[in-house]
Structures are given as structure tokens and as C-alpha cells.
């Protein structure tokens, strides 16, 4: 099964995506990740003002079957959290790059090693599918 990997985003090995929006970065989980997890039913995200560090867990995402840590692909201060997800976590499954975004950060400039572009991440997913 092939997954949606938008060309304009960058990706972590732990299946988070990063999108540049002005001076800020938006972070979410990829289509591959949501498909692996299945129906998301529970989410723990940081609070606004919290500082996240690249490669460190910043939250937890859970489906009926599995629990998974969310790892920060970049460092920075959380400036917004997607509050709509409290009522509708399914957006993470249905629109992982859109309404299912998780947090918005003001970047510190640090990022996790091994951040990939879309082509690199698509190949990374393909490798794991077999």
C-alpha cells in the first residue's frame, strides 16, 4: 500500500512531518504512521509555552491496539496546540497533513539528525513495508 508523502514537507525517522509556515513550524504525524497505528483514540500533547527538544518525546498517541511516543523532529517553543483534536482525534487518520496537525512551534534552530525530504521518506516507508 502506498502512502501520501507531500513533496513540500520534511520528515523524521519516527514518522513525524514538519511544515514551514512563516517563522513557525507545524508538526504532525505522517500518513504512514496513522495507517500503522489505526484509529487514533487518545492523545497527549504538550502545553503552549513548553519547550521541546529534537529527538525527545513531546507527547503520546494511542490507538485501540497500540501506544506510541511522539518525537520532536525539531526543537523549539510550543506556540499552539491543535485543540480541535480533543473532540475529533479521527482527523489524524483522515487528514494527517491537514486538520490532523498536532503542534505549532517557534523553532530554536535545532533539529533531529536524519531529517529527510519527501523522496527520502517515501523510500524509508517503502523499505519498511516489505
Partner 1 sequence: MLKRTPLFEKHVAAGARMVEFGGWEMPVQYSGIIDEHNAVRQSVGLFDISHMGRLMVRGPQAEEFLQHVVTCDVSAIPLGQSNYGLLCRPDGGIVDDIFIYHLPDEFLVVINASNREKDWQWLHDHTEGFDVEIVSRSDRWAMLAVQGPGAEALLIQAEESGAGSLHDLPFHGVALSSIFGYTALVARTGYTGEDGFELFFDAVHAEEIWDKLVGLGAKPCGLGARDSLRFEPCLALYGHEINDDINPYEARLGWVVKLDKGDFVGREALVAIKAAGPSRRLTGFEMVGKGVARGDYPVHTLDGEPIGVVTTGMPAPSIGRPLGIAYVPTSLSAEGSEFDILIREKPVRARAIKMPFYKPRYKK
Positions that interact with partner 1 (CB under 8 A): 1, 38-39, 41-42, 44, 60, 62-65, 67, 69
- For partner 1, give the closer residue by CB, 24 or 62: 62
Least gap, CB of 23 to partner 1 (angstroms): 32
Residue 108 C-beta-side C-alpha neighbours within 13 Å: 15
CB contact at 8 A, 96 and 29: yes
- Grid coordinates of 58: 513531546
Alpha-helical (H) ranges within the chain are: 31-37, 90-94, 118-129
- For partner 1, give the closer residue by CB, 14 or 63: 63
- For partner 1, give the closer residue by CB, 44 or 126: 44
Least gap, CB of 64 to partner 1 (angstroms): 5
Q: How far apart are CA 18 and CA 95, in angstroms?
A: 15
Least gap, CB of 85 to partner 1 (angstroms): 14
Amino acid at each position: 500500500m502506498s502512502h501520501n508523502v507531500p513533496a513540500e514537507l520534511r520528515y523524521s525517522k519516527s514518522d513525524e512531518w514538519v511544515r514551514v509556515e512563516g517563522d513557525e513550524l507545524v508538526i504532525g504525524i505522517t500518513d504512514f504512521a496513522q495507517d500503522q497505528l489505526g484509529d487514533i483514540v487518545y492523545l497527549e500533547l504538550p502545553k503552549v509555552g513548553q519547550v521541546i527538544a529534537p529527538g525527545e518525546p513531546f507527547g503520546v498517541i494511542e490507538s485501540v491496539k497500540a501506544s506510541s511516543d511522539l518525537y520532536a523532529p525539531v526543537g523549539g517553543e510550543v506556540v499552539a496546540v491543535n485543540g480541535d483534536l480533543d473532540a475529533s482525534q479521527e482527523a489524524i487518520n483522515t487528514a494527517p497533513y491537514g486538520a490532523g496537525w498536532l503542534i505549532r512551534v517557534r523553532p530554536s534552530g535545532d533539529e533531529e539528525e536524519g531529517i529527510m525530504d519527501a523522496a527520502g521518506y517515501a523510500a524509508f516507508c517503502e523499505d519498511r513495508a516489505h
